Amino acid sequence: MKIIRWWGLAAFIILGVLLVLIWYLLAPKLIANAIEDIGSEAVGAKVEVRDVELNLFPLSVALNHLTAADPDEPMQNLFESQKIKFSIDSETLLWKKVVIDELAVTGVKTGTPRTSSGALPGGRKTTQMVQEVTDFNVPEVTQEDIQAMVEKADLITLKRVKKLDETQSNIKQEWDTALDKDAFQARVNKLQSEYERLAKRLEENKLNLIKDRNDWKQLKKDVDAERKSISALSDKLKQDKQLISEQIKSVKEGPKDDLNAVMSRFGLGNGVEGLVDKYIGPQYTPWILRALDLVKSFKKSSDVEKTEEEKAAVQVGDKVYFKDEKIFPQLLVKKINIQGENQGISLSGQGFNLGYLPWLIGQPSQLKLDFNGKGSAKVNLKSDWQSANSMQTQLTSNINNWSLESMQFMQTKEGSWLLNSGTLNAQLNGNITLKEIDFSATFEIASPKLDVPQNISDWQQTLANSINNEKSIKLVLTATGALESPKIRVSSGIENLFKQAIGEKVKQKAEKLKGKVKDKIAEKVGDLGDLDKLSGDFSKWQEQISNKDDVLKNILGKIKL
Amino acid sequence: MLTILAKILKALNSEQSPNQLAAAISLAAIIGLTPLFSLHNVLILLVVLWFRVNLTIFLVCWPLFTILGLAIAPLAQSLGADILQTPQLIPMWETFYNTLIGRWSNFYYTGVIGSLMIALVLAVALFPISKILIVNYRGKWLAKFEQYKVVKLLKASKIWQVYQSVSN
């Protein structure tokens, strides 16, 4: 009986060709859908592509008319490009990696109007941070209200004290185990007796030094290993000291944080301090938080790199990562050229080595953008990933003599406060690592003229008039500290204008309330004077480590090799 | 449904060798139990079409094994994770991952490798078992079945008409 079915082979080939053809016809749509889905998720608003051109020989893709809506203003595009064209390296594609030698973005426009809303259903988390600021007032509260509020409050200070106690207790336990005198003595005794045995043999016959050379080497190795572990203990001691010192600092700052938390329940936050931060901050801080979210998402990817990451279809399961000899990132754009012009503003830019996962690129990623028109602006971003756990990103940016026409200054419940004229100069500089951020932006607006909404309160009208009479206003935005909980603040020389505007009586009332809340918190928290319970222990442990090392050094000095 | 049943009966009662039918069941087990869009399934499809594997049995068993595959997916994934993370096997997987076939085979997904292992074991076991069952059915049970009243009733029913039309 024949076991071969030749028409079956023909059917297989025809099926294969048909599948390739179907893929070729559907691929542009699939690429467009993928870009729209991933882009929308990243931007937080609709990303749309009109059509995609796909060429197989050589493999290249062109995205025609790509638009990304502004998540904060859905009837406007954040970005629009006429054409994005790039060719893909076929060889690396065989390894499931996309390498683009040059990507050209032309016809770039920003802030263009949309005919339909670009909002995503449900919106994006950070969008919710751009809130309308309610009016400033001091509520009428009694001593009982304050007492009840503080009693009910889950005070941060108490939590931090508890955490500190736990840390101190754990550290003490760890050190008691690590510096177990008996165990160490047993190990030293063993080394000492081995040394004595070898020394005795050497004394009997000098030639034994040659015979026992391997034993001497082993002894040296053992002593070195023991000293290495002692050195590691020394490092741990420093780290533990640092940890305790940070936690004590955090506990001491606790009452201040608690005060802010309780005061914000009365709608007063920092009291009458930081009004610029309260009112103008929401215009700027969401962008910083979004940038930080982006960095954190990379950090998350690096954390799970070697473990399971992707969840695909039900049957496929989780992906397990193995060492990849093809050291390319999943996606790499070696060079990117950007050109565009919109409403008298021209944009040109270049980018190098942009990709995902960035630590596999091997070279720093760079993006340079130049805007010219109503002034000039330069943005220079450089990001260097030495490894998955080490990143240094630098931002330097300057805006010079940029004429303002309609820039949102702040938002209150009555509507937007717009800067209708003025000249903007700004410097933005920052460093971000995977652990911390140090960013500052200085904005100086000369001859500001505000257009305010109707029905604003008296103090807000006073404030608007005062700002309009200023020669220039200066705002400084800073973001510093740990990446997980950065301190973002907007301060300004016009803080006094805010304070003057709200009036002396209100200020005094707020300060009085703040003082009462502070006293109640201090009463509940108790004495924070004696927090460091391990200061004596640390010196004791340091001494023990040094003594142990001296004993080992003594044996090492006597080893004959 | 009746047509499918009739086709199965036709295949079982036909003169095709038990090997062809058993191979169809085994190969259907592999393609059905493992994720469809996997490289090894292209090979299975080629084998099914190129060699005289019974297509009816294959096409009937495929969806049945797919349902079974979905049911055992958690077990397959857990087994796959164990296989991929066994320290002694990691060098082998690393070498395979760095080959073109390895990269496109998706073996590094727990569900793919786990279900493939289960499917291979099952396919190897199913081949002789189904072969024995088919031989026994044709040699002993077919004649006995025809004596049952139920079968006689069936022969008078619509299913038999369908079977006859398929046979012709």
Q: Provide DSSP, B38-56.
A: SHHHHHHHHHHHHBT--HH
pLDDT above 60 (res B164) = yes
pLDDT at B167: 55
* Å between A321 CA and nearest CA of chain B: 7
pLDDT band at B31 (very low <50, low <70, confident <90, very high): very high
Q: Which residues of A touch B46 (CB under 8 A)?
A: 9, 12
The pLDDT tens digits for A376-392 are 999 999 999 888 888 89
Give the whole-angstrom CA distance, residue A40 versus residue A79.
Answer: 12
The pLDDT tens digits for A315-347 are 788 888 888 887 778 889 999 999 988 777 888
pLDDT at A214: 85
Q: What is the dihedral of CA A330, A331, A332, A335, to 10 degrees?
A: 180
Give the whole-angstrom CA distance, residue A336 versus residue A369.
Answer: 11
Whether the Cβ atoms of residue A253 and residue A531 lie closer than 8 Å to each other: no
Amino acid identity, position B146: E
Q: Do B70 and A316 touch (CB under 8 A)?
A: no
In chain B, where are the structural domains located? 2-167
pLDDT above 70 (res A269) = no
Q: Which is more confident, A250 or A72?
A: A250
Q: What angle do CA A62, A64, A67 make, to 5 degrees?
A: 125
Q: Do A96 and B51 touch (CB under 8 A)?
A: no
Identify the residue among B17, B31, B38, B49 best suited for mutation to test binding to A, counting A beta carbons within 10 A and taking the highest: B49
pLDDT at A72: 75
Strands (E), chain B: none
pLDDT band at A312 (very low <50, low <70, confident <90, very high): very low
**Which of A133-142, A180-189, A412-421 is the least confident region?**
A133-142
3-state secondary structure A264-285: HHCCCCCCCCCHHHHHHHHHHH
pLDDT above 60 (res A137) = no
pLDDT above 90 (res A285) = no
pLDDT at A310: 44
Here the ipTM equals 0.82
* Å between A302 CA and nearest CA of chain B: 19
Identify the residue among A4, A92, A320, A330 best suited for mutation to test binding to B, counting B beta carbons within 10 A and taking the highest: A320
Average pLDDT of the segment spanning A490-499: 78
Nearest to B108 among A4, A15, A319 (CB): A319
**Helix H or strand E segment including B116:** helix B110-136
pLDDT above 50 (res A309) = no
Tell if the pTM clears 0.90, that is, is over it: no
Nearest to A11 among B49, B52, B97 (CB): B49
CB neighbour burial string for B130-147, b if at least 16 within 10 angstroms, e if fewer: bbebbeeeeeeeeeeeee
Give the whole-angstrom CA distance, residue A509 versus residue A139.
Answer: 9
Q: Do B93 and A312 touch (CB under 8 A)?
A: no
pLDDT at A142: 66
What share of chain B in percent tops pLDDT 70?
A: 89
Q: Do B100 and A95 touch (CB under 8 A)?
A: yes
Give the whole-angstrom CA distance, residue B24 versus residue A354.
Answer: 50
Give the whole-angstrom CA distance, residue A370 versus residue A346.
Answer: 8
pLDDT above 70 (res A264) = no
Q: Do B108 and A322 touch (CB under 8 A)?
A: yes
Average pLDDT of the segment spanning A288-310: 62
Average pLDDT of the segment spanning B139-146: 78
pLDDT above 50 (res A127) = no
The pLDDT tens digits for A94-125 are 888 889 988 999 988 887 888 888 888 765 54
**Which of A152-161, A355-364, A496-505, A511-520 is the least confident region?**
A496-505
Q: Number of residue pairs across A and B with CB atoms under 8 Å?
A: 92
Q: Do A1 and B17 touch (CB under 8 A)?
A: yes
**Which of A357-366, B88-97, B143-152 is the least confident region?**
B143-152
pLDDT at A305: 46
Among B10, B56, B24, B55, which residue's Cα sits nearest to residue B127?
Answer: B24
Q: Do B48 and A8 touch (CB under 8 A)?
A: yes
pLDDT at A266: 62
Q: Which residues of A touch B77 (CB under 8 A)?
A: 317-318
Q: Which residues of A touch B110 (CB under 8 A)?
A: 308, 317-320
**Which of A258-262, B80-84, B112-116, B125-129 is the least confident region?**
A258-262
**Which of A219-223, A283-287, A538-542 is the least confident region?**
A283-287
pLDDT band at A263 (very low <50, low <70, confident <90, very high): confident
* Å between B152 CA and nearest CA of chain A: 34
pLDDT above 80 (res B149) = no
User: Which pair of tokens denotes residue A365?
Assistant: 């990623």
Residue that the structure tokens 């980018």 belong to: A351
Strands (E), A434-492: 436-451, 472-482, 487-492
pLDDT above 50 (res A225) = yes
pLDDT at A398: 94
